[in-house]
Structure 1
Amino acid sequence: MHSPYLLKNIDKLVERIVKAIENDEKIVIYADVDFDGISSTVILYKILMKFTDNVEIKYVERSRGHGSGLIIDQIEDDTDLYIAVDSSSNDVKPLKVLTEKGIDCLVIDHHSVDVENPYCILVNPQQPDCEYPNKNASGGLLVYKVCQVIDDYMDTRYSLELSDLPGFALMADVMCMKEMENRYFAKVSLKGLRHEGMKLLFEAMNSDLKNLTSTDFLYGASPAVTAATRADNIKLGIDFLMCDKAVPETKGYVKELIKLNEHRKLVQSEATEAMKTGLCETDKVIIVFDPTVGRGLNGLVAQEISKKYNRPAIVLGFGDDEDTYSGSFRGLEDFSMLELLKTCENVIYAAGHDGAGGVGVSITHLELLRLELNSKLRDFVPDDTIYYDLEFSADSVNENLINYITEFYRYSGNNFKPGTFLIKDLFISDKKLMGKTNNTVKIDCGKLQLMKFKTDEEYYNSVPVFTEVEAVGSLNMNIWTQYRPRKKVIKTCQLFIEDYREITKQ
């Protein structure tokens, strides 16, 4: 871990918070709408409530967008201190409005700093002259660092009670997992989990609390929590994360999150399928306009399209103005899509992270943007090669090997992805179409099961039976308890496949 005192302005920011506590000033925290944003808010709120009850949380729903400009009309005149977390580094005009009303402004953020903002005290490792080494910190981690300094000033240790939340914020916001500080906090989250609400959510999604991995979070708990924000129910996400101790309402929150997540999966699948017919696959960046998807799911649909066609994707709907479109982009690891969009003349704005964020464009300039991106990426060739780390014979795959691999890749994520393996000598004996929407295929290969997710009946029909194949994917243990006719723990070795190919004998 790095010292929080390496963060530029952190003493000034904390001194202002301490002053507000000592003078019983009214404090307003503005919550951004993703997992990182609401976890940042919960961490700061819970710490401040140890010292004062004059604290409020304000937010707008995801469909309205991001940034302090959307909330200033909700900030009452009797507010003394406004704190924006996980956003607002570049919000000069909105913070100027608040400052002119006599409200001091603090910003704790990790997004790019594009302009000088004289109307706030800013803690952000991206700003010039900041000596904090971890430039891949999330909002939740930076808020936690601020809370550590508040503890120092107040001679307390309250931040330790919330030490498991920053790691989840880092993983959810897809921050670099080669960064050792990030890996440390991911470990604290997964192996030192204290949050009772998260425990119940993991259990409800059939995760083993004693053996949690980043994958359990990224493909289970995280999308369930953000399903609430995508459904314009940020309050549910905040209320759930407030439940670090067991309360009667927690099970109800978990049930509602899972319900919303199942609905999100269905809508996302239908939207992605519907868009296939309108795509121009020859473009370097696939751009789709579909106002029926909604801002909450634009990014997820763009991610599905990008993965399927091995190129960046932009999914747009109607913007705030009648002459604009706005939506989300998803990029590739080859280059920063965010920086590319910022260089485009036909983009109104681009914000977020290198590979994921929001974008706005004038309706009349949409075709010009498509041509501009094709020109800027004229030398870019989409790569549909499937890469893998190691290869094994199916006979050598067993529980011990999978457990060893799982431990090595336990804290995976951006820049440190779970291992992908080529498994040879597989013989398909049977297959089955599964899931409520028939979008999962299980392929039996003796002691190893191949699982293909987010697919369809056409894929199922194409899988050959009584055929030798080799497949690429990630290894996993499926462990469940059978209660009838007698209780029995069943363990199955699985390969979550990306693709397979038939082996023809010479």
Structure 2
Amino acid sequence: MIYADCDIDGVISAVILYKHLIKFTDNVEIKYVERSRGHGSGLVIDQIEDDTDLYIAVDSSSNDVEPLKALTEKGIDCLVIDHHSVDVENPYCILVNPQQSDCEYPNKNASGGLLVYKVCQVIDDYMDTRYSLELSDLPGFSLMADVMCMKEMENRYFAKVSLKGLRHEGLKLLFEAMNSDLKNLTSTDFLYGVSPAVTAATRADNIKLAIDFLMCDKATPETKGYVKELIKLNEKRKVVQAEALERHKDSIKEEDKVVIVYDPTIGKGLNGLVGQELSKKFNRPAIVLGDGEDENTYAGSFRGLEDFSMLDLLERCRSVEHTGGHPGAGGLSLKKDNLQDLKDELNNRLSSFVPDDTLYYDLEFSADSVNENLINYLTEFYRYSGNNFKPGTFLIKDLFISDKKLMGKTNNTVKIDCGKLQLMKFKTDEEYYNGVPVFTEVEAVGSLNMNVSIQYRPRKKVIKACQLFIEEYREIN
């Protein structure tokens, strides 16, 4: 019995393990609970039949002592393959986790999916088989989805295997549906396209859709149907996220060191994404809360900054009942009566913190020097980007705006024509569009991209456009 955690790393982990074990026995099954119920083995043990021989939790459960004790007392062996922090000793399982104090495995930044894959490699060694090779394109996606460190050489290797050696037919279809070039995939294509679409299913309490999709080995009509469902859920997710940001953007107090909002209408699955948007907009950590398990409790998600561990900070706060996850992203719960205490405690602990709205960039270029060759060179350098190795950001000078256009189903994308370079601003609105000046010289900061499309009429033609996905621009007087 495999227990899949309810995020994309957990789903990939479970699918890798299932596809590998099914080569040896058909007596294997995946169990799960929806994201709205939470994480951990305690939520699923009532689904585990008494005649189960082996229970395997992936991407969770390192600290689940009591649930695993209950299973072992029934005679069920327990294996946990996880990468989250280990806070207690758990004698009721075999634990594969590089965060253990006595673990000598050098990669402390592995994802659940990568660790499961390594276990499958070991099984192959013992059984003199090579089945894991068929699944080698999946671990890198779990690493990217869980935003693991991309300075880690093993992580970079598996990211390369995923993007350069993609075999999964369902993922190919989803990349293509999002206008990605299969011959030239980057981490950005995955992080801002495919990953949110698959995650949209788990956030909508439809983890079965994500599992069914990743189980697909062939490009069948059923697989194409899964792709359409994922894209539909992702579009809905975008709308909910944008509306939540709009509701709360004017309610943030400048003196608060951490953005904290309560909004039960967002839903547990999207709290973290809204927190991420609020954190980015206000350049400070963010907490988005909804209703907890009882009427006296709030529960939600946090998003932090790279400068410090938000998880460690919340663990030190007396007003927090429970927290867990990663240093920059996770969940928490607290008593409703303690909300103001949490705000005060965070303001005190972060009293010297000053939100930094500075735009940083790696290099600067004149618009005349930006061409396809330069963009392709930079794309290759930053192809395997992620945590601690961000995609390149550039200042482009000598831009002259000749035209602008409001685009997208919800008018949330602005295209700004600057000669041979197009400036693209996403997740924005008509107010931003109206503020863009025309026939004006500007400079802009953002990431460079080649947009490739095919025109089929009157004859087939490949159209390429140099683009700058802008964070901000300023007029030059």
Q: TM-score range by the shorter chain?
A: over 0.9
Question: Aligned with 2:67: secondary structure?
Answer: helix
Shift of 1:74: 1.2
Is residue 2:185 matched to residue 1:212? yes
Question: Aligned with 2:250: secondary structure?
Answer: helix
Aligned to 1:224: 197
User: In structure 2, what is the Cα distance between the partners aligned to 1:368 and 1:156?
Assistant: 57
Deviations 1:323-352 (A, max 9, x none): 111110000011010111111111111111
2:412 partner letter: N
User: In structure 2, what is the Cα distance between the partners aligned to 1:247 and 1:144?
Assistant: 26
1:48 partner letter: L
1:34 partner letter: D
Is residue 2:423 matched to residue 1:446? no
Is residue 2:148 matched to residue 1:175? yes
State the TM-score, normalized to the length of structure 2. 0.99
2:323 partner letter: A
| 167, 177, 181: which one aligns with 1:194 | 167
Question: Aligned with 2:330: secondary structure?
Answer: strand
Is residue 2:105 matched to residue 1:132? yes
Shift of 1:396: 0.3
User: In structure 2, what is the Cα distance between the partners aligned to 1:481 and 1:282?
Assistant: 50
Is the contact made by 2:62 and 2:95 (CA closer than 8 Å) also made in structure 1?
Answer: yes
Deviations 1:96-121 (A, max 9, x none): 11112221111000000011111111
Aligned to 1:9: none
User: In structure 2, what is the Cα distance between the partners aligned to 1:90 and 1:349?
Assistant: 13
Shift of 1:321: 2.1
Deviations 1:53-87 (A, max 9, x none): 11111000011111111111111212121100000
Question: Aligned with 2:3: secondary structure?
Answer: strand
Is residue 2:235 matched to residue 1:262? yes
Question: Aligned with 1:30: secondary structure?
Answer: strand
| 48, 71, 76: which one aligns with 2:21 | 48
Aligned to 1:360: 333
| 3, 11, 30: which one aligns with 1:57 | 30
Counting only pairs closer than 5 Å after superposition, residues 59-98 of structure 1 correspond to structure 2 as 59-98=32-71
1:183 partner letter: R
User: In structure 2, what is the Cα distance between the partners aligned to 1:384 and 1:248?
Assistant: 47
| 365, 370, 375: which one aligns with 1:402 | 375
| 295, 299, 324: which one aligns with 1:351 | 324
Is the contact made by 2:173 and 2:219 (CA closer than 8 Å) also made in structure 1?
Answer: no
User: In structure 1, what is the Cα distance between the partners aligned to 2:219 and 2:135?
Assistant: 14
User: In structure 2, what is the Cα distance between the partners aligned to 1:463 and 1:440?
Assistant: 12
Shift of 1:487: 2.1
Question: Aligned with 1:278: secondary structure?
Answer: coil
User: In structure 1, what is the Cα distance between the partners aligned to 2:248 and 2:26?
Assistant: 49
User: In structure 1, what is the Cα distance between the partners aligned to 2:145 and 2:217?
Assistant: 18
User: In structure 2, what is the Cα distance between the partners aligned to 1:195 and 1:484?
Assistant: 31
Is the contact made by 2:245 and 2:277 (CA closer than 8 Å) also made in structure 1?
Answer: yes
Shift of 1:484: 2.3
Shift of 1:166: 0.2
Is residue 2:78 matched to residue 1:105? yes
User: In structure 2, what is the Cα distance between the partners aligned to 1:44 and 1:487?
Assistant: 43
Shift of 1:244: 2.8
User: In structure 2, what is the Cα distance between the partners aligned to 1:499 and 1:73?
Assistant: 52
Question: Aligned with 1:277: secondary structure?
Answer: coil
Is residue 2:326 matched to residue 1:380? no
User: In structure 1, what is the Cα distance between the partners aligned to 2:219 and 2:76?
Assistant: 36
Aligned to 1:290: 263
User: In structure 2, what is the Cα distance between the partners aligned to 1:498 and 1:321?
Assistant: 41
Aligned to 2:429: 456
2:353 partner letter: F
| 337, 346, 354: which one aligns with 2:310 | 337
User: In structure 2, what is the Cα distance between the partners aligned to 1:416 and 1:105?
Assistant: 36
1:80 partner letter: D
Identity of aligned residues (%): 85
Is the contact made by 2:406 and 2:415 (CA closer than 8 Å) also made in structure 1?
Answer: yes
Aligned-residue RMSD, C-alpha? 0.8
Shift of 1:408: 0.3
Deviations 1:373-399 (A, max 9, x none): 000000011110000000000000000
User: In structure 1, what is the Cα distance between the partners aligned to 2:65 and 2:376?
Assistant: 50
User: In structure 2, what is the Cα distance between the partners aligned to 1:483 and 1:192?
Assistant: 29
Aligned to 2:124: 151
